[in-house]
Structure 1
Amino acid sequence: MKIIKIAALAGALITSSFVAAEGTKEVLMGVDILPNSIELHVASGGCTNADSFIINVDKSASPYSVTILRIQPDFCEAHIPDGIKVSFDRTLLGLGGKVEFILTNKIGNTSNHQ
């Protein structure tokens, strides 16, 4: 199992072979799987960006298992009822090309970060 964090500005990839206990499983508002990226539709109070998340990609079984964890809570108070979209490079996540995976997060509008 790998924990992958994509730094939005630096484009850095940090990979670790341990499962982090940090973060909470994010309730996603939606997801778009594009040819080169994955766009997550997430709740935001105005202080959420790609650095707010780590993406756990478990390749130990097929299909792969992908979990989105929020590591930076958003305590800002902007009113953004439709949330925001954050994008992650599929190749950097190890999900480039033709691949099947299961997204383990719930989909809905019940995130605590609205």
Structure 2
Amino acid sequence: MLIRALCLSGLLALSACSTVQRIPGVPGGNREDETARLETILDARIVGNDILVVRVASNGCTQKGDFAVTVRRRGGEHDVTIERTREDYCRALLPNGVEIPWGFEELGVRPGSQVRVVNPVAG
């Protein structure tokens, strides 16, 4: 229940130790990319202590490569921003969206640090 409340407010206690970072292999992996747009997320949670799982809307073809993730260190916290770089034009009915996992290692984040998901959360 506590984690759900944190997710709804956009805050998650996680681990991290990085500066602004482009995620390798992801187009538009930094904030300055004008083609990316901030994704409204449905939910976010931590699995174990080293995987960030974000639920996003999908029409059936959404995959991890459709997103750019930026991690910025701010004081003792790390802000995670998720931007969609490719639209999903499929026509499947997925009312609960899909879950996309990012390992802390991918994000340049160490277990135990504070991470805040900056994206808006669908109400």
Mark yes or no: TM-score above 0.5. yes
Identity over the aligned pairs, expressed in percent? 23
Count how many residue pairs are aligned between Structure 1 and Structure 2: 102
Kept in 1, the 8 Å contact 2:42–2:121? The answer is: yes
With the length of structure 2 as denominator, give the TM-score of the two structures.
0.72
Any idea what SS the aligned residue of 1:83 has? strand
Q: Normalising by the residue count of structure 1, what TM-score does the alignment of the two structures yield?
A: 0.78
Shift in Å, 1:18:
7.2
Deviations 1:4-53 (A, max 9, x none): 2566xxxxxx9x77732231100000011122211111100011011111
Unaligned runs of 5+ residues in structure 1 are: 8-13, 110-114
1:22 is aligned to 2:35: yes
In the alignment, structure 1 residue 58 sits paired with structure 2 residue 77? no
Instruction: Note the alpha carbon deviations across 1:50-108, whole angstroms, 9 max, x for none.
Output: 11111100125331111000111111111111111111111120122111022110111
Are 1:85 and 2:99 matched, yes or no? yes
- Name whichever structure is richer in helix by fraction: 2
Match of 2:109 among 91, 95, 101: 95
